[in-house]
Amino acid sequence: MPTSYSLDLRTRIAHDFNDNGNAEQVALSYNVSPSSVFKFARLYRENDLAPKSTDPKRLPLILDSQLEDLRVLVKEFSDYKLTQYCDLWFERHGIQVSRSVMDRAMSRARITLKKRLAWRSKKKIQKT
């Protein structure tokens, strides 16, 4: 995911464009696109130049109040993979989540998934 440009850089680009008037030249000197130069100049005029942060009102798909349900789920099905937990979450809660959402929720709940010793020994037996 691209990162946003700092407020200082945006301000310098807008000032250079206002002084120079040549978006292509400013874009080359700062290694940005000409459309970004126009955008920063417009935002500077509107006093809205600060980079936008992510929406603080957006809640995670698996809420903190549901983390205990997740702990119970992992304890009940301790040998599942993340995708299987996602499928179980959909069955029980009706919310389809991705592996990354499930992984972040498990991190918040301080749940770690480790390979089981029994799984390793089964793999060694199959090879011989």
Please tell me the pTM assigned to this model. 0.50
pLDDT in tens, 82-91: 999 999 999 9
pLDDT band (50, 70, 90) for residue 4: confident
Buried b (16+ CB within 10 A) or exposed e, 101-125: bbbebbeebebeeeeeeeeeeeeee
- The domain locations on the chain are 7-45, 64-112
Distance CA 80, CA 119 (A): 12
- For the segment 5-17, the average pLDDT, to the nearest whole number, is 92
pLDDT of residue 125 exceeding 60, the answer is no
Instruction: Provide the mean pLDDT of the chain.
Output: 86
